[in-house]
Amino acid sequence: MTLTNTTDASTRRQTYTVPTHINKPDKLLFGLTARQLLLLITGASLAYATWLQALTWAMAWGIGLLWSRGLAFLAILPLVMMTLAGTFLTIADRPLELWVVVWMRAHVAPVTYVWRSAKWDEAKQRRLHARTRAHTRQEEQDQSEHEQEGWS
């Protein structure tokens, strides 16, 4: 009696791993993404350059070393806070710089919204515009006739 094994490759179930993190950016260093690292490095280098410049100016003005460091710290504090906020702060799962761009676009090109009833009809709107243009033309004709007759 011969036993056959029915578990050949054609009848076996194959399993696949489905990636669930496709829309997530890759972590590069210390759990930070490339965007976060770039923002931190840029902010840190700008803060350091500002620190050195403020310290140099304060020392040139004759301010003591302790007061010079305090002044330099106050000079870089807003820059450090902006860097940290831009790096780590997200609102509604969107980075802060995206909200800044949206805010700038909204203030550069403001939009005027007009409320219309749900019953508003495009044909009705065209008739209204045609009536308004006809009324304006009639007024212009009346005014030109009055001017020709000597009315002012």
**Residue with the two structure tokens 């709107």:** 125
d(CA 81, CA 12): 58
Work out the mean pLDDT of the chain and round it to a whole number.
82
pLDDT tens column, 11-64: 678 888 887 777 777 787 888 888 899 999 999 999 999 999 988 888 888 888
Q: Nearest Cα to 50, choosing from 77, 82, 86? A: 77
